[in-house]
A and B are shown apart, each in its own frame.
Chain A
Amino acid sequence: GAVVSQHPSWVICKSGTSVKIECRSLDFQATTMFWYRQFPKQSLMLMATSNEGSKATYEQGVEKDKFLINHASLTLSTLTVTSAHPEDSSFYICSAREFVQPQHFGDGTRLSIL
Protein backbone atom coordinates (compact mmCIF):
# COMPACT_ATOMS: atom_id res chain seq x y z
CA GLY A 1 0.00 0.00 0.00
CA ALA A 2 0.90 3.63 -0.31
CA VAL A 3 3.39 4.77 2.30
CA VAL A 4 4.16 8.27 3.49
CA SER A 5 7.25 8.72 5.61
CA GLN A 6 7.52 11.74 7.88
CA HIS A 7 10.71 12.77 9.62
CA PRO A 8 11.58 13.47 12.36
CA SER A 9 8.94 11.90 14.58
CA TRP A 10 9.79 14.09 17.57
CA VAL A 11 11.88 17.21 17.93
CA ILE A 12 12.62 19.44 20.89
CA CYS A 13 14.42 22.69 20.32
CA LYS A 14 15.01 26.10 21.80
CA SER A 15 12.86 29.10 21.07
CA GLY A 16 14.05 31.11 18.09
CA THR A 17 15.41 28.23 16.06
CA SER A 18 14.00 26.96 12.78
CA VAL A 19 12.81 23.41 12.39
CA LYS A 20 12.40 21.48 9.15
CA ILE A 21 10.02 18.54 8.80
CA GLU A 22 10.17 16.23 5.80
CA CYS A 23 7.36 14.31 4.19
CA ARG A 24 8.12 11.68 1.57
CA SER A 25 5.92 9.46 -0.52
CA LEU A 26 7.77 6.17 -0.83
CA ASP A 27 5.93 4.28 -3.53
CA PHE A 28 3.78 6.76 -5.41
CA GLN A 29 3.96 10.21 -6.91
CA ALA A 30 2.61 12.82 -4.54
CA THR A 31 1.05 15.33 -6.89
CA THR A 32 -0.51 17.07 -3.90
CA MET A 33 0.64 17.23 -0.32
CA PHE A 34 -1.15 18.63 2.69
CA TRP A 35 0.15 19.85 6.03
CA TYR A 36 -2.00 19.65 9.14
CA ARG A 37 -1.59 20.81 12.70
CA GLN A 38 -3.19 19.16 15.69
CA PHE A 39 -3.29 20.47 19.25
CA PRO A 40 -3.89 18.05 22.14
CA LYS A 41 -7.43 16.70 22.30
CA GLN A 42 -8.38 18.61 19.16
CA SER A 43 -9.04 17.79 15.56
CA LEU A 44 -6.70 18.23 12.61
CA MET A 45 -6.56 21.68 11.09
CA LEU A 46 -5.36 22.06 7.53
CA MET A 47 -2.50 24.53 7.28
CA ALA A 48 -1.66 24.44 3.60
CA THR A 49 -1.93 22.53 0.36
CA SER A 50 0.96 22.18 -2.03
CA ASN A 51 1.07 20.94 -5.56
CA GLU A 52 4.39 19.80 -6.95
CA GLY A 53 6.28 22.64 -8.53
CA SER A 54 3.84 25.31 -7.36
CA LYS A 55 3.64 27.63 -4.42
CA ALA A 56 1.68 26.34 -1.48
CA THR A 57 -1.84 27.56 -0.80
CA TYR A 58 -2.22 28.52 2.84
CA GLU A 59 -5.41 28.41 4.85
CA GLN A 60 -6.74 31.56 6.37
CA GLY A 61 -4.86 32.54 9.49
CA VAL A 62 -1.73 30.55 8.70
CA GLU A 63 1.37 32.74 8.33
CA LYS A 64 3.18 31.74 5.16
CA ASP A 65 6.38 33.45 6.28
CA LYS A 66 6.27 31.47 9.50
CA PHE A 67 5.51 28.11 7.97
CA LEU A 68 7.55 27.69 4.80
CA ILE A 69 6.46 24.88 2.55
CA ASN A 70 8.49 23.50 -0.33
CA HIS A 71 7.24 20.80 -2.70
CA ALA A 72 10.02 20.63 -5.20
CA SER A 73 9.62 17.03 -6.29
CA LEU A 74 6.90 14.44 -6.68
CA THR A 75 8.08 12.58 -3.62
CA LEU A 76 9.14 15.23 -1.14
CA SER A 77 7.61 18.16 0.64
CA THR A 78 9.14 20.05 3.54
CA LEU A 79 7.63 22.28 6.21
CA THR A 80 9.99 24.69 7.93
CA VAL A 81 8.80 26.39 11.09
CA THR A 82 10.88 29.56 11.19
CA SER A 83 11.92 31.22 14.43
CA ALA A 84 9.82 28.78 16.39
CA HIS A 85 8.27 29.77 19.70
CA PRO A 86 6.52 27.76 22.40
CA GLU A 87 3.09 28.49 20.89
CA ASP A 88 4.24 26.63 17.76
CA SER A 89 4.53 23.43 19.77
CA SER A 90 2.09 20.98 18.27
CA PHE A 91 1.67 17.71 16.39
CA TYR A 92 2.25 18.26 12.68
CA ILE A 93 0.96 15.70 10.20
CA CYS A 94 1.53 15.58 6.47
CA SER A 95 -0.46 13.70 3.90
CA ALA A 96 0.05 12.99 0.23
CA ARG A 97 -2.09 11.95 -2.65
CA GLU A 98 -1.57 10.98 -6.26
CA PHE A 99 -4.05 12.88 -8.40
CA VAL A 100 -7.58 12.04 -7.20
CA GLN A 101 -6.67 9.12 -4.97
CA PRO A 102 -7.37 9.28 -1.22
CA GLN A 103 -4.78 10.96 0.98
CA HIS A 104 -2.21 8.87 2.82
CA PHE A 105 -0.97 10.22 6.11
CA GLY A 106 2.50 10.35 7.57
CA ASP A 107 3.17 9.29 11.15
CA GLY A 108 3.32 12.87 12.38
CA THR A 109 5.98 15.01 14.02
CA ARG A 110 5.70 16.12 17.61
CA LEU A 111 7.32 19.53 17.91
CA SER A 112 8.17 20.92 21.32
CA ILE A 113 9.67 24.39 21.60
CA LEU A 114 11.28 25.28 24.93
Chain B
Amino acid sequence: ELKVEQNPLFLSMQEGKNYTIYCNYSTTSDRLYWYRQDPGKSLESLFVLLSNGAVKQEGRLMASLDTKARLSTLHITAAVHDLSATYFCAVDIDAGGTSYGKLTFGQGTILTVHP
Protein backbone atom coordinates (compact mmCIF):
# COMPACT_ATOMS: atom_id res chain seq x y z
CA GLU B 1 0.00 0.00 0.00
CA LEU B 2 1.35 3.38 -1.00
CA LYS B 3 1.94 5.79 1.84
CA VAL B 4 2.58 9.46 1.40
CA GLU B 5 3.82 11.41 4.37
CA GLN B 6 4.25 15.12 4.65
CA ASN B 7 6.05 17.06 7.27
CA PRO B 8 5.58 19.28 8.98
CA LEU B 9 1.81 19.06 9.37
CA PHE B 10 1.55 22.56 10.77
CA LEU B 11 3.87 25.43 10.03
CA SER B 12 3.71 28.93 11.40
CA MET B 13 6.32 31.27 10.02
CA GLN B 14 7.16 34.92 9.84
CA GLU B 15 6.95 36.91 6.68
CA GLY B 16 10.26 37.09 4.90
CA LYS B 17 11.52 33.75 6.17
CA ASN B 18 12.30 30.58 4.23
CA TYR B 19 11.16 27.04 4.92
CA THR B 20 10.85 23.64 3.26
CA ILE B 21 7.97 21.18 3.32
CA TYR B 22 8.87 17.54 2.76
CA CYS B 23 6.88 14.80 1.05
CA ASN B 24 8.05 11.20 1.37
CA TYR B 25 6.38 8.31 -0.42
CA SER B 26 6.79 4.59 -0.06
CA THR B 27 6.85 3.17 -3.58
CA THR B 28 8.00 3.96 -7.10
CA SER B 29 6.00 6.68 -8.77
CA ASP B 30 5.78 8.32 -12.15
CA ARG B 31 4.40 11.62 -11.12
CA LEU B 32 4.21 13.84 -8.09
CA TYR B 33 1.94 16.81 -7.68
CA TRP B 34 1.75 19.75 -5.33
CA TYR B 35 -1.57 21.46 -4.64
CA ARG B 36 -2.73 24.41 -2.62
CA GLN B 37 -6.07 24.51 -0.83
CA ASP B 38 -7.58 27.62 0.71
CA PRO B 39 -10.23 27.22 3.44
CA GLY B 40 -13.55 26.08 2.03
CA LYS B 41 -12.12 25.77 -1.47
CA SER B 42 -11.03 22.99 -3.76
CA LEU B 43 -7.51 22.24 -4.91
CA GLU B 44 -5.35 24.52 -6.98
CA SER B 45 -2.59 22.82 -8.94
CA LEU B 46 0.86 24.23 -8.22
CA PHE B 47 3.40 21.84 -9.73
CA VAL B 48 3.62 18.61 -11.68
CA LEU B 49 6.95 16.81 -11.32
CA LEU B 50 7.54 14.09 -13.86
CA SER B 51 11.12 12.91 -13.55
CA ASN B 52 14.02 12.47 -11.21
CA GLY B 53 15.77 15.76 -10.57
CA ALA B 54 12.83 17.84 -11.79
CA VAL B 55 12.75 21.31 -10.35
CA LYS B 56 10.01 23.82 -10.93
CA GLN B 57 9.57 27.33 -9.61
CA GLU B 58 6.66 29.70 -9.51
CA GLY B 59 7.06 32.92 -7.61
CA ARG B 60 8.17 32.22 -4.04
CA LEU B 61 7.58 28.47 -4.33
CA MET B 62 10.00 25.92 -5.71
CA ALA B 63 9.37 22.18 -5.92
CA SER B 64 11.83 19.40 -6.55
CA LEU B 65 11.70 15.63 -6.95
CA ASP B 66 14.22 12.92 -6.08
CA THR B 67 12.72 9.64 -7.21
CA LYS B 68 15.60 7.58 -5.86
CA ALA B 69 15.03 8.93 -2.37
CA ARG B 70 11.25 8.97 -2.94
CA LEU B 71 11.22 12.52 -1.73
CA SER B 72 9.81 15.79 -2.95
CA THR B 73 10.31 19.19 -1.39
CA LEU B 74 8.35 22.41 -1.58
CA HIS B 75 10.57 25.33 -0.68
CA ILE B 76 9.14 28.65 0.38
CA THR B 77 11.30 31.71 -0.13
CA ALA B 78 10.67 35.01 1.66
CA ALA B 79 7.18 34.02 2.75
CA VAL B 80 4.28 36.44 2.48
CA HIS B 81 0.86 36.33 4.12
CA ASP B 82 -0.83 35.37 0.84
CA LEU B 83 0.92 32.02 0.95
CA SER B 84 -1.10 31.00 4.00
CA ALA B 85 -3.03 27.87 2.96
CA THR B 86 -2.90 24.09 3.19
CA TYR B 87 -0.43 22.41 0.86
CA PHE B 88 -0.80 18.83 -0.30
CA CYS B 89 1.52 16.59 -2.19
CA ALA B 90 0.03 13.69 -4.13
CA VAL B 91 1.61 10.71 -5.80
CA ASP B 92 0.40 9.00 -8.97
CA ILE B 93 1.17 5.33 -9.46
CA ASP B 94 1.42 3.91 -12.93
CA ALA B 95 -0.15 0.60 -12.19
CA GLY B 96 -1.97 0.23 -15.44
CA GLY B 97 -5.64 -0.53 -15.93
CA THR B 98 -8.11 1.18 -13.69
CA SER B 99 -5.44 2.09 -11.14
CA TYR B 100 -3.61 4.38 -13.48
CA GLY B 101 -4.00 7.96 -12.51
CA LYS B 102 -5.08 7.34 -8.94
CA LEU B 103 -3.67 9.90 -6.60
CA THR B 104 -2.66 9.22 -3.04
CA PHE B 105 -2.47 12.41 -1.00
CA GLY B 106 -0.23 13.35 1.86
CA GLN B 107 -1.82 14.55 5.08
CA GLY B 108 -1.39 18.18 4.14
CA THR B 109 0.69 20.97 5.66
CA ILE B 110 -1.22 23.89 7.14
CA LEU B 111 0.89 26.97 6.59
CA THR B 112 0.30 30.23 8.39
CA VAL B 113 2.46 33.23 7.57
CA HIS B 114 2.32 36.07 10.06
CA PRO B 115 3.91 39.52 10.18
Contact = CB atoms under 8 A, between A and B. Distances in A.
Interface of A: 6, 32, 34, 41-46, 49, 51, 57, 93, 97, 100, 102-108, 110
Given A93-B42, A106-B42, A108-B41, A43 B102 contact: no
Interface of B: 31, 33, 35, 40-43, 45, 48, 88, 98-108, 110
Nearest to B4: A43
Nearest to A56: B98
A6 B43 CA distance: 13
Given A34-B103, A105-B43, A106-B42, A43 B88 contact: yes
Nearest to A2: B45
A57 B98 contact: yes
Contacts of B42: 6, 93, 105-108
A57 B41 CA distance: 26
B41 A107 contact: yes
15 contacts: A32-B101, A34-B101, A34-B103, A43-B88, A43-B105, A43-B107, A43-B108, A44-B43, A46-B102, A49-B99, A93-B43, A102-B33, A102-B45, A103-B103, A110-B40
Nearest to B48: A102
Contacts of A6: 42
Contacts of B110: 41
Contact of B101 (A41, A100, A107, A110): A100
